[in-house]
Amino acid sequence: MPRVPRMVVTDSGQKAAYHVISRTALDGLPFGKVEKDELARIIQRFSAVYVVEVLGFAIMGNHFHLLVEVSPGAMVSDEEVRRRFRLLYGDDVEFPEGRLGEYREWFSSLSAYVKDIKQSFSNYYNKRKKRKGTLWGERFKSVIVEQGNTLIHCLAYIDLNAVRAGIVKRPEDYRWCSIGYHVQTGNKDGFLSSALGMSDFGVTDASTQLRKYREFLYHVGAIGKRCKANISKALLDEETVEGFEMTRMRRFRYRTRYFTDSGIIGSRAFVETTYGTFKAQFQATRDKIPKAVQGIEGMYSMKRLSDT
């Protein structure tokens, strides 16, 4: 069966945000502290070379998440292409002027960016472990994410990975995620966007953005994990007080899967417009219809076009 084309926004005047997920093909949790540190370093290196802004990330024991905003090549000046070439190859390598357009397109490619990250880490991991063979599983997943409300929920989903896995109690205690990097290093070297998804809400001051984002993150992170135990009296009493309404915190539980299983996520208009850009690339018997995300008004998703 032929590989389904990846959905990538190609509007020359528009940046696009993507949630990227890639998993190892190995069993268990092969990435320890040293491996996580190196993968973070590699992500930081290639994020400086490619025309991307890293909004969020999380590196777990067997997979990683990235939330990045990619700029189209048309927004990149010739000198910026040359500067990024020097970052990649060093000052001693002469820039091939005849390939200026090729490098502009390359440095604006989501697929090339993730490929370089994964290949570099594979080389490191195989050398460290004295092994050969495939490290990563199937090709990485990417979800096109609308700015604003959808983006900040996706960022929170990423930053809460370690909390959901039971590794830490506070998200900023985990240093291999964006909120941990912000708090523990003060966003060293400006690796991450300082906006934390808050700029679309009229919050522009960096310290206020961090405070507001942490407030939001702690609210959605307060959702209890599902378990086999009976509902406690305390929870029942709380539910009674709330009138059994679905609060913002509780709604978050039902929508997290959309951030990895979707092909596009955002408002209905955003999903429909983005789908219209790509549907000609696929042989489908009928158009796909956006489906409402349970528990949050105005958010819709569409499965990957390869899904039936």
Cβ atoms 140, 22 nearer than 8 A: yes
CATH of domain 16-72+108-303: 3.30.70.1290
Please state the rounded mean pLDDT for residues 148-170: 88
- Give the end-to-end CA distance of the chain in Å, rounded to a whole number: 14
Please state the rounded mean pLDDT for residues 29-43: 96
Count Cβ atoms below 10 Å from residue 184 Cβ, excluding itself: 13
Q: Kindly indicate the confidence band of residue 301, based on its pLDDT and cuts at 50, 70 and 90.
A: confident
Per residue in 192-216, pLDDT (tens digit) is 988 887 777 777 777 788 878 887 8
Does residue 228 have a pLDDT over 50? no
Tokens linked to 253: 């539980």
Per residue in 266-280, pLDDT (tens digit) is 888 888 888 888 777
Q: What was the pLDDT predicted at 249?
A: 54
Residue ranges covered by each domain of the chain? 16-72+108-303
Residues 6+ apart with CB under 8 A from 257: none
- Average pLDDT of the chain? 82
Q: What was the pLDDT predicted at 308?
A: 33
Does residue 231 have a pLDDT over 50? no
Reported as half-sphere exposure (CB side, CA atoms, 13 A), residue 125 has a value of: 24
The C-alpha atoms of residue 182 and residue 194 are separated, in whole angstroms, by 8
Which position has the token pair 């964006």? 178
Q: What was the pLDDT predicted at 49?
A: 97
Q: Kindly indicate the confidence band of residue 230, based on its pLDDT and cuts at 50, 70 and 90.
A: very low
Does residue 219 have a pLDDT over 90? no
Does residue 116 have a pLDDT over 90? yes
The C-alpha atoms of residue 68 and residue 193 are separated, in whole angstroms, by 9
Per residue in 236-293, pLDDT (tens digit) is 344 454 454 445 554 565 456 667 767 788 888 888 888 888 777 666 667 778 888 7
Tokens linked to 183: 């708090």
Q: Kindly indicate the confidence band of residue 10, based on its pLDDT and cuts at 50, 70 and 90.
A: low
The model's pTM is: 0.78
Percent of the residues in the chain that have a pLDDT greater than 90, as a whole number = 46
**DSSP sequence for the chain:** -PPPPP-----TT--EEEEEEEEBSSSS----HHHHHHHHHHHHHHHHHTTEEEEEEEE-SSEEEEEEEE--GGGS-HHHHHHHHHHHH-TTSPP-GGGHHHHHHHHT-HHHHHHHHHHHHHHHHHHHHT--S--B-SPPEEEEE-TTHHHHHHHHHHHTHHHHTTS-SSGGG-TTBHHHHHHHHSSGGG-B-SSTT-GGGT---HHHHHHHHHHHHHHHHTPPPP-SSPPPHHHHHHHHHTTT---HHHHHHHHTTHHHHEEEEE-HHHHHHHHHHHGGGS--SS----EEPTTSTT-EEEE-TT--
Find the range with the poorest average confidence among 25-29, 132-136, 186-190, 262-266. Answer: 262-266
DSSP secondary-structure letter at 13? T
